[in-house]
Structure 1
C-alpha cells in the first residue's frame, strides 16, 4: 500500500483543523459536565476528545473510504478493531487528545496522534501540538522531522548513548500492578532524572528529539504508541517489548522500552525494569 507525501500533508491539515475547531476552543473552558471518567479519576474523556475524533474520522473516511479506522474513543464500541490492525491493507489509529488529564486540568501538555498502518507495519506518523502548532512527522525509511508552525523543519535524532547514571527519561510505572510498580519506581533513581508527563505524544517527542534518553510503558494501546515508535525509530532509536521482541500493530501487552540503541535498551531492561 502506497502512502504519499501528499497524503501526509492531508493528515497534518485535518489534524490542525480538528484542533482549531474542536480542541483549542475548549482548552481551559471545560465545565464540570464536559469531563467524564472512563476507568478512573486519571483516565478521562472530554467533549474535545469525542468531537475531534469524530472530525478526524470523517475526514479520513472521505479520502480513504476502505481503510480501517481505530479511534481511542470509539474503541469501546468494537474492540475487534485493534487485532485487525495486524492484517488491514490500510488502517489509521487516532488519539484525538492524548494527555486528556493534562488537557482537562488546563496544562498545555497534550497532543493529537495519528498512525498509518499498512499490511501489519506502521508506515507514517503525525504527532501534533495544538497549543504550539508544531508537528512531528515520520515516514518509514525517510526520517523523522519537527515541523514548526512557521514552516521551518528539522530532522530529529535520538540522544547519544550514555551511562544510566547520566540518562534522563520516563517509565510509566504508575499504570503498573504490584510488585512491578514499586520495583520499577524505586529503580528509576538510578537514572540522572526521571519525568512523568502522562502524555505519550510529548514523551515520544522528547525521546525522538534527543531531549530524553528513554521511555517505557506497560500498556500498549495502539493509538498511544504506534506513531511514536515509528518516529523514534526513524530518528535512529531502538524500541522493543520487555521480552526483546518487536512491537507490532495489533498488540496491546508486553510492555516496551525506547532507547538510543540496543545496548542502552538492555541496560534499562536489566537495571530499571528488572526481573
Structure 2
C-alpha cells in the first residue's frame, strides 16, 4: 500500500490531538494522570497512556478498518499481535507515551511514537514531542524531517563519524542482565559523554539529528524502535542488531545499535557492547 501526503498528515494530526487533549493536561497533574505499576516501580502506565492509545486506535481503525493495530498497552492483553507484524499487509504500531516514568516523574522527556509497516517493512514513522510540539516524520526512501511549530521542516542528518573517545552516546544498560550490564556500563567510560534518557523517542531524535553519535538497546519492542530505526536510516545512519542483521517488524530480541555508519557501528559493537 502507498501512503499519500494526506495519510501522513492525518496521522500527525492524530498525534498532536492526543498530545493536546490527553497527555499535556495530565502532565504534572498527579490526580489526572492516575499512575499505576505494570511489572515494577519503573514500568508504569497512566491515564495518558491508556486514553491516548484508545483514541489513536479508534481513529486509525476508522480510516484503515482492515489494518493490524499494535499498541503497547493493548499488547498486554494479546501478545500475538507483535509476531503478526512480520507479514501483516498493513499495520500501525503505537507507543502513546514513550518515557512514561519520566512523564509520571514530571520530567519533560517523553514522546508519542507511531510506525507504519507494510508486509514486514517499516514505511513511515512519526515521533511527536507533546511538550515542545515538534514532530519528526520519516518516509521510506524520502528522508527524515523535523517540523517545529511555525517553522519549515528541516531534514535530519546523523553526526559525522569520530574516534570513540570523542563520541557522545546512550546505552540502555539498565535493561541488560548481568554480566552484560556491568560490562557495557564500564565500557561507556571510553566515550566523551554518555546519557540515559529512558525514552526511545528522545534517543532516536537525538541520534538522527546528529546530537548523539550512537544509541543502543537490548530490548526490541516494536513501539520503541520501528519508527526510530527508520528515522535514523533515512537520516543517513546505520542501524543493525547486535549480530549484524537488520531489525525487522515482529522481532523483540537480539539487541540493537544505531551509529553514523557501518564502521562506527562495528566499533561500538566491539568496544562498548563487547561483541567480537
Which of the five TM-score ranges fits, normalised by the shorter chain? over 0.9
Partner of 1:31, secondary structure, is helix
Partner in structure 2 of residue 202 of structure 1? 202
Partner in structure 2 of residue 25 of structure 1? 25
The residue correspondences of 1:1-275 to structure 2 (distance < 5 A) are 1-31=1-31, 34-275=34-275
Shift of 1:170: 0.3
Question: Closer, same or farther in 2 for the Cα pair 1:33/1:47, shift >3 Å?
Answer: closer
C-alpha distance after superposition, 1:199-227 (max 9, x if no partner): 00000000000000000000000000000
Shift of 1:39: 1.2
Shift of 1:32: 9.0
CA RMSD of aligned residues (A): 0.9
Shift of 1:267: 0.2
Counterpart Cα distance in 2 of 1:32 and 1:152: 34
Shift of 1:33: 7.8
Partner of 1:85, secondary structure, is helix
Question: Closer, same or farther in 2 for the Cα pair 1:197/1:262, shift >3 Å?
Answer: same
- Please, what TM-score do these two structures have when normalized by structure 2? 0.98
Counterpart Cα distance in 2 of 1:178 and 1:126: 34
C-alpha distance after superposition, 1:3-39 (max 9, x if no partner): 1111110010011001111101000002398111111
Shift of 1:110: 0.3
Unaligned runs of 5+ in 1: none
**8 Å CA contact retained: 2:243, 2:254:** yes
Q: Size of the alignment, in residue pairs? A: 275
Question: Closer, same or farther in 2 for the Cα pair 1:32/1:137, shift >3 Å?
Answer: closer
Partner of 1:14, secondary structure, is helix
C-alpha distance after superposition, 1:66-91 (max 9, x if no partner): 00000000001110000000110000
Question: Closer, same or farther in 2 for the Cα pair 1:33/1:256, shift >3 Å?
Answer: closer
**8 Å CA contact retained: 2:138, 2:234:** yes
**8 Å CA contact retained: 2:26, 2:33:** no
Counterpart Cα distance in 1 of 2:171 and 2:61: 35
Partner of 2:115, secondary structure, is strand
Partner of 2:20, secondary structure, is helix
**8 Å CA contact retained: 2:33, 2:104:** no
**8 Å CA contact retained: 2:26, 2:32:** no
Counterpart Cα distance in 2 of 1:165 and 1:198: 23
Question: Closer, same or farther in 2 for the Cα pair 1:33/1:195, shift >3 Å?
Answer: closer
Shift of 1:151: 3.6
